[in-house]
Amino acid sequence: MLSWPGRLAVTLFAACLLAGCQPAAPPPTPVPTYACTPEAGGAEFSCSQQQYDEMVAKDKLYAEAEAVYRRFFAEDVRIFRSGGVAEPTQTLLETTTGAFLSDSMALYRSLKADSRRLEGGEIRLVSIQRRAGVSKESSIVAMTACVDARSTTVLEHGKKVGPGYLIEDLLYFGRFDGVLKIQGADGQEEGKCAG
């Protein structure tokens, strides 16, 4: 036979079962929040982990594209100063492809044929900027590069023919056999660059 305290405990337990009592639920686990920045730049906003992961992946892609362009740019400067090339260099093959490589080689061959090169001054990469949402021929990322070579002199057959250039290119990047390369470009108006 149950003692008075034992009967009270059984009665309370039975009453609790009939009333639908349940143990208190643990407090909800807070959902982590992340801070994202729009692809085109701007103010941070709260976002989900998936959005954050997508942003990080896109940032890495832009960083990779910029590194590819900077490598190409250094080679482009070298070729312009040396007076062109007849065949693609290893660096050109590793950083460019398709129409961009073809167009670049046409220019480099014309430099060589005309004995034209840049001399003196500085060829500066003024800016390289993201172009969010811009694509052409299945490119996966686009950037705009502004190059200022106005402090240089164009020589043709050893004679000065004019100053260097200021130009902006809209560059399209794609992945080919796992390697990111510049696949195309739309040249903008020579003589200015967007800020």
Residue 12 resides in a domain: no
Closest CA to 64 of 191, 186, 182: 182
Split at pLDDT 50, 70, 90, the class of 23 is: low
Structure confidence at residue 171 as a pLDDT band (50, 70, 90): very high
Asked, for residue 81, whether it belongs to a domain, the answer is yes
pLDDT at residue 8, rounded to an integer:
45
Place of tokens 């106005």: 150
Distance, in Å, from the CA atom of 134 to the CA atom of 143, rounded to the nearest integer, reads 9
152-164 confidence digits (pLDDT tens): 999 999 999 999 9
Give the other-Cβ count within 10 Å of 110's Cβ.
11
Residue 33's pLDDT is what?
81
195 in any annotated domain: no
Residue 7 has pLDDT above 60, yes or no: no
Domain at 80, CATH number = 3.10.450
| Domain assignment of residue 88, yes or no | yes
- pLDDT band, very low/low/confident/very high, at 140 (cuts 50, 70, 90): very high
Q: What's the order of all strands across the beta sheet hosting 141-148?
A: 124-130, 141-148, 166-176, 179-187
pLDDT tens for each residue of 24-82: 666 776 666 889 988 888 899 999 999 999 999 999 999 999 999 999 999 999 999 99
The more confidently predicted of residues 75 and 17 is: 75
In whole angstroms, what is the distance from residue 186 CA to residue 172 CA? 8
CB 88 within 8 A of CB 102: no
In a domain, residue 82? The reply is: yes
Could you tell me if residue 43 is inside a domain? no
The pLDDT value given to residue 58: 94
Looking at the structure of the chain, the number of domains it has is 1
- Specify whether the CB–CB gap between 152 and 182 falls below 8 A: no
pLDDT of residue 31: 64
Residue located via tokens 């260097």: 164
Domain span holding position 163: 65-187
Position 144 pLDDT exceeds 90: yes
Q: Which two tokens stand for residue 76?
A: 């482009």
Long-range contacts, 8-16 (Cβ 8 Å, 24+): none
Mean pLDDT of the chain: 87
Identify whether 55 is part of a domain.
no
What is the residue type of 106? Answer: A
Q: Is the pLDDT at 18 greater than 80, yes or no?
A: no
Largest CA distance in the chain: 119
- Residue 124 CB-density burial (10 A; 0-12 exposed, 13-18 middle, 19+ buried): middle
Q: d(Cα 125, Cα 20) in Å, to the nearest integer?
A: 72
What average pLDDT does range 81-90 have in this prediction?
A: 97
- pTM of the complete model: 0.80
- Report the pLDDT value the prediction gives residue 192, as an integer from 0 to 100: 72
Q: Confirm whether 4 is domain-assigned.
A: no
